[in-house]
Structure 1
């Protein structure tokens, strides 16, 4: 099974993103239940790796922090393939990414080595599904997009199902960032 660690988005942030999608000239928009921020893509997982990762994540102790989305962007040189909302890369988010990369390696995963670029995908673009000049103009116009701030207090282990019409994501487990957020088991 394909898995990744990420952040779920609060309902009010999802609503703000749906409004942004409505304003953009693209045909294939991700459903709001698929909105998330990937922290670490882990790839295909075996049960021993997941058990080791669960053990590590259950001891995670990181302070909650504030996050917001600011501006829109495109990935793909020449022919864009991803339309997204940018995530403000606050130091706490970048530190969490580094910590989770370390824990993932310790659990036997080989996380992607590319530079971390936090974002929320709004649409995967196919060449025949948009007018590039219109899209670039819309993205430039909406660079002033700024979501409300929200508190990050936990992370999620997601499973990714690849389907012909796009990926679907299920939360397998949630982990509070801080030991203060956990139920105490006696």
Structure 2
């Protein structure tokens, strides 16, 4: 894990390739109707558990050891993508996302990862955890964004897109690349 202090790091739930592909197909079908400035590369889809920012090698290794220990006996579980939403101003959102159903397993996993990162010395965001997969950033429409646009051909209304959460990943951000997130450590959950 020899990385620089200038890089940013975060722990996240990795999405399976098949789920990323389905989300990509959906995004391609709606991107003309939803003009956002930047669409996230499908390889970068994830659910953030703890954003670390820049970090020393020592703190990263300590967090990795603590997380490996704390989630060693966590079972894999299924999540259902069931809704679309936005963060920011309702008429000009900064983030367009899809979210999952409330899942105790996900919140428990996040709590363990978050606590391990704090124990390793990281100062983390204190906002409530709102699990989501960022799809696009910065509204670029000529008119105001309307919430009704999210219902356009949404495959998530019935929660029928599901995936298995089987690992937590430590990612490094490369702002000059696309996809921009590099997996530098993997922490598997127990197979069901």
Which TM class, normalised by the smaller chain length?
A: 0.7 to 0.9
Partner of 1:62: 74
Q: How many residues align?
A: 177
Partner of 1:184: none
Tell me, which stretches of 5 or more residues in structure 2 are unaligned? Answer: 1-6
Pair 1:30–1:134, CA change in 2 (3 A): same
Q: CA deviation at 1:135?
A: 5.4
Q: CA deviation at 1:116?
A: 0.5
Whether the 8 Å CA contact 1:85–1:120 is kept in 2: the answer is: yes
TM-score normalised by L of structure 2: 0.82
Partner of 1:26: 35
Equivalent of residue 9 in structure 1, options 9, 15, 18: 15
* Aligned equivalents of 2:158, 2:172: Cα separation in 1: 29
Instruction: Name the structure with the higher helix share.
Output: 1
Q: CA deviation at 1:88?
A: 1.8
TM-score normalised by L of structure 1: 0.84
* Aligned equivalents of 2:79, 2:129: Cα separation in 1: 16
Q: Which runs of 4+ in 1 moved over 6 A?
A: none
Q: CA deviation at 1:77?
A: 2.1
RMSD: 2.3
* Aligned equivalents of 1:64, 1:139: Cα separation in 2: 30
Alignment of 1:84-163 (within 5 A): 84-126=97-139, 129-133=140-144, 136-141=147-152, 142=154, 144=157, 146-163=159-176
The DSSP-based 3-state class of the residue aligned with 1:171 is strand
